[in-house]
């Protein structure tokens, strides 16, 4: 088992970059939501890595990561509900067509 933090941070950076690319370039709202979740998971990976390999190893990073997962689950539930409502009104899941507040 490795004693360095570098592989965890590298994987976190790669996941974050893939999520950022998906969130900025894709047109489908479901893919954008999944990309945002990928970025949140990259941040959670970094939190857990720093809590294990940091100067003072403790459970604070892991607890904050669990709290972040709970907030992310609520965010996905609300995001999917809004997406379903917009899809029923507009008939599309293209994010370019969802820039108005009224029908």
* 77 is a domain residue: yes
Domain that holds residue 31: 1-92
Residue predicted with more confidence, 55 or 47: 47
* 49 is a domain residue: yes
Residue 101: predicted pLDDT: 61
CB 27 within 8 A of CB 94: yes
57: left (phi over 0), alpha (psi -120 to 50) or beta: beta
Please report, for the domain that includes residue 13, its CATH number. 1.10.287.3510
* 101 is a domain residue: no
Structure confidence by residue, pLDDT tens digits, 62-98? 899 999 999 999 999 998 998 898 888 888 888 887 7
Domain count, the chain: 1
Q: Which 3 state secondary structure label does DSSP give 92?
A: coil
Structure tokens at 94: 């293209």
Structure confidence by residue, pLDDT tens digits, 20-33? 999 999 999 899 99
């Amino acid at each position: 088992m490795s004693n360095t933090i570098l592989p965890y941070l590298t994987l976190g950076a790669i996941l974050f970059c893939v999520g950022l690319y998906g969130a900025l370039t894709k047109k489908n709202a479901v893919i954008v939501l999944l990309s945002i979740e990928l970025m949140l998971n990259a941040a959670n990976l970094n939190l857990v890595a720093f809590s294990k390999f940091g100067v003072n190893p403790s459970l604070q990073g892991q607890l904050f990561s669990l709290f972040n997962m709970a907030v992310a689950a609520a965010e996905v539930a609300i995001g999917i509900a809004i997406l379903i409502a917009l899809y029923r009104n507009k008939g599309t899941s293209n994010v370019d067509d969802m820039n108005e507040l009224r029908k």
